[in-house]
Amino acid sequence: MRVAILDDYLDVARTSADWSLLPAGFEPRFFREPLAGEDAVAQALQAFEVIVAMRERTAFPASLLARLPRLRLLVTTGMRNAAIDLDACQRQGITVCGTGAVGAPAAELTWALILALLKRIPAEDQSLRSGGWQTGLTETVSGKRLGVVGLGKLGTQVAKVGLAFGMDVVAWSPRLTAERAEAAGARLVDKAALFATSDVVTLHLVLGERTQGVVGAAELGAMKRSAYLVNTSRAGLLDEEALLSALRERRIAGAGLDVFSVEPLPREHPLRFLPNTVLTPHLGYVTRENHAVYYRDAVEDILAWSQGRPVRLLGA
């Protein structure tokens, strides 16, 4: 059986797990470069029976799955992958399994971006290295209002750090209750109030039909000119063109982004050239500890499936 391990950008998959544990006859192949477009994916993977996908880096819609007739097992890192058509997998008899994950890294990166923005770390670092000294005033975190959009596990972790910094923490999501907000140390406000009054807005919603484009021109237009937007969740939550417009026209102070509508971010994408941004290349889950869990569990998934006892099933 041929096993494809996709989108291993850093060439770490082979050393993050013991692939020799796979049954005899299972041959892993590691793909470092992203496969651009459905035709390229179909051509590269049509001979593989098992595919290990890294999160949502490669999409598996019904149209692609129909072009992979040999595929029998699809493993995704993590237990949620909106880029896989689970109904199409079920129709084709493709088993889909997930893996465990370390829960804290995305919340940690959120705070790295918030602090980088308010403390001007990228700009000051660049100036210092080129011979300069102080180039502008930084901002105090304490006393500012943190608006958390989505108060699940990650949003709650981010909120608690905000409280530790002495921030006023407010929250909103479509189904958030006042009781749940209070339990996380936040206050429930309506969506309009959150965007209009927060100094930092951070997004932590799950992407779905209800949340696609939940932050658009209206929400960005309601923000204070001194406010910052941070997104370490999913690019689809945010209207990227509306954000570009707001940043170019300085209608908000800046943005910290870890997720983008096209990934890897194209070399000439306008976000790369805006000075009021801090950008990271989807690092929220890219930690040594997470990769060890991802690929260890992927090996376990393949072993269990080969023995007729699949584990961590998605869409079951």
Give every CB contact of residue 5 below 8 A, 6+ residues apart in sequence: 13, 14, 28, 29, 30, 31, 52, 295, 298
Nearest to 91 by CA among 55, 66, 60, 58: 66
∠ CA 73-75-78, rounded to 5°: 160
- DSSP classification of residue 29: E
Which residue in the list 145, 282, 291, 312 is annotated as catalytic?
282
For 42, how many CA atoms within 13 A lie in the half-sphere containing its CB? 12
| Token code pair at residue 218 | 């209206």
Q: Determine whether 282 is an active site residue.
A: yes
Active-site annotation holder among 120, 145, 204, 234: 234
Q: How many residues does the chain have?
A: 316
List % helix, strand, coil for the chain (3-state, nearest 5).
Answer: 35, 15, 45
Pair 271, 244: CB distance under 8 Å? yes
Active-site residue, from 2, 49, 263, 269: 263
The token duo for 223 is: 């923000």
* Beta carbons within 8 Å of 274's beta carbon, 6+ residues apart: 244, 247, 248
DSSP 8-state assignment for residue 206:
P
Compute the Cα dihedral for 274, 278, 281, 285 and give only its sign.
negative
Give the three-class secondary structure for 161. helix
- Is 91 designated active site? no
Cross-strand pairs, 5: 30, 52
Element (H, E) at 231: strand 228-231
The reply to whether 263 belongs to the active site is yes
**Which strands make up the sheet holding 200-203, listed edge to edge?**
187-188, 168-172, 145-149, 200-203, 228-231, 254-257, 277-279
Catalytic residues: 234, 263, 282
